[in-house]
Structure 1
Amino acid sequence: MLKFYYNPRSPMARRVWRTLLEKEISFESVILNLNGDQLQSEFLAINPFHHVPVIVDQGFRVIESLAILDYLETKYPTPALLPTEAEALAIVRMVQMTVTNELLPKAIYLMFETEDSPKLLQAKEHIDKVLNFLTECLGNSPYFASEQLTLADIVAGTDMSLLSKSGFSFNNYPKLKDWFERLMQREIWQRTELNQEDFEKFKRVLRIMRRRKLSQENKIKN
């Protein structure tokens, strides 16, 4: 049986978790507490970069959430979560990469910066640009590039929930707001969504990781 190494508070892991559930793929859960489990030798032998998610399927290991999603879609094609038409597939890929590279890094600032922080203002301006682009990608479809759920919806919806929990309003983006609410009405999404307590725990872990990273960068500079 497929083994799934994850922590439910990780947005990258929740992308894979939701995909496994939407596809009804049987799996064995291996939950890691991100306070040191990911640094143990047993896990480092699976992923030397010590982060989740990871899957091991019949002895084949896959790391990185987007690579895992592609593997699951190809290995377990029913129900299909990717369109086959060229333009629709391109939209899905653009949404996935834009959310990963442009939205998620800026969402971190909403969690930690004060209201008068220049970094927060810059982050909000960038998030506005991303959300307007996503609105264009969504168009008048109920889901990205499809009448049915796609991997773009799973990636974008999972990551955008961090904005919502950080107090960011989607009122200026009505199409995205309707789309996001549509996702959150799905039974699987309700079951896997972070509650506020777990969100605060996720923030504490991120805060520790940021401090460690800054400390390492300062050591290198000195």
Structure 2
Amino acid sequence: MLKFYYNPISVNARRVWITLLEKQIPFESILVNLDGDQFSDEFAAINPLQRVPAIVDDGLQVVESLAILDYLEAMYPTPSLMPSDPGAVARVRMVETITVVELQPETIPLTRPMVGLEVAPQKLEAAQQRVTVILQFLEKLLDQRPYFAGEAFTLADIVAGTLVPSLPLDSYPRLRAWSARLAQRQSWQQTAYTPDAIAAALPNIRAILERRW
């Protein structure tokens, strides 16, 4: 059975978790506590980068969330989470890349004050401006579609949907409606962050942010 190494407050792990549930892939979940488990020799043997998520499937080790999603789509193609239309494929890839490469790093300065860490005002303002540009782009890209690729729910919605709804969306009615649509899915409800999990994770989140930024 596929082994899924995760932490419930990890955005990167949650997108893999949702994909496993949406595809109804049997898996064994293995909790990696971020207070030191990620630095253990056992986990480092699976992911030398010492971060979640990671999977081991029939002896194959895969790390990095987008790579894992591509593997799951190729290995377990039904139900499909990737469209066949070239234009829709391009939208999926754009949303995935923009979310992970552009948007997610910009949320780090915004998160620091929430855990009691300082951030330079100019860096905070720059991050807020960049986030605004990205959200405006995603709002326009979504257009009147229920999902980013059209009528079908895809990996684009999973990747963006595990991050975008946590941001202020008052000025983005299409993204708000899309977020509400995602929240109705069983996979979203099953993987939702609990207040207790967030409270327990705050010291570790603070330590991670101190190291990385």
Q: Distance in 2 between the 1:111 and 1:139 partners?
A: 28
What secondary structure is seen at the aligned counterpart in 1 of 2:188?
helix
Q: Distance in 1 between the 2:164 and 2:18 partners?
A: 14
Q: CA deviation at 1:203?
A: 4.2
Is the Cα contact below 8 Å between 2:109 and 2:119 reproduced in 1? Answer: no
Q: Distance in 1 between the 2:205 and 2:137 partners?
A: 27
Give the count of matched residue pairs.
Answer: 209
Stretch deviating more after TM superposition (95-104 or 187-196): 187-196
What secondary structure is seen at the aligned counterpart in 2 of 1:106?
helix
Name 2:204's counterpart in structure 1.
Answer: 205
Q: Distance in 1 between the 2:204 and 2:150 partners?
A: 36
Q: Distance in 2 between the 1:204 and 1:136 partners?
A: 37
Q: Distance in 1 between the 2:202 and 2:110 partners?
A: 11
What secondary structure is seen at the aligned counterpart in 2 of 1:28?
strand
Q: Distance in 2 between the 1:101 and 1:55 partners?
A: 21
Task: Give per-residue Cα distances to partners, 1:78-132, cap 9 Å, x unaligned.
Answer: 1110001111101000000001111111112222247992222211111110001
Name 1:175's counterpart in structure 2.
Answer: 174
TM-score of the superposed pair, with normalisation by structure 2: 0.92
Is the Cα contact below 8 Å between 1:107 and 1:162 reproduced in 2? Answer: no
Task: Give per-residue Cα distances to partners, 1:139-189, cap 9 Å, x unaligned.
Answer: 1110011212100000001012432xxxxx211010001001110111220
Q: Distance in 2 between the 1:40 and 1:109 partners?
A: 28
Alignment CA distance shift 1:202-1:162 (3 Å) = farther
Name 1:123's counterpart in structure 2.
Answer: 127
In the alignment, does 2:89 pair up with 1:89?
yes
Stretch deviating more after TM superposition (115-124 or 16-25): 115-124
Q: CA deviation at 1:213?
A: 4.1
Alignment CA distance shift 1:57-1:115 (3 Å) = closer
Name 1:104's counterpart in structure 2.
Answer: 104
Is the Cα contact below 8 Å between 2:112 and 2:119 reproduced in 1? Answer: no
Q: CA deviation at 1:35?
A: 0.7
Superposed CA RMSD in Å reads 1.7
Q: CA deviation at 1:195?
A: 2.7
Q: Distance in 2 between the 1:95 and 1:204 partners?
A: 31
Is the Cα contact below 8 Å between 2:99 and 2:159 reproduced in 1? Answer: yes
Q: Could you tell me the percent identity over the aligned residues?
A: 49
Q: 1:1-222 counterparts in 2 under 5 A?
A: 1-113=1-113, 117-163=121-167, 169-213=168-212
Is the Cα contact below 8 Å between 1:111 and 1:203 reproduced in 2? Answer: no
Q: Distance in 1 between the 2:66 and 2:142 partners?
A: 20
Q: Name the structure, 1 or 2, with higher relative contact order (CA <8 Å, separation 6+).
A: 2
Q: Which runs of 5+ in 1 are unaligned?
A: 164-168, 215-222
What secondary structure is seen at the aligned counterpart in 2 of 1:177?
helix
Q: Distance in 2 between the 1:202 and 1:95 partners?
A: 28
Q: Which runs of 5+ in 2 are unaligned?
A: none
Is the Cα contact below 8 Å between 1:137 and 1:145 reproduced in 2? Answer: no
Q: CA deviation at 1:15?
A: 0.4
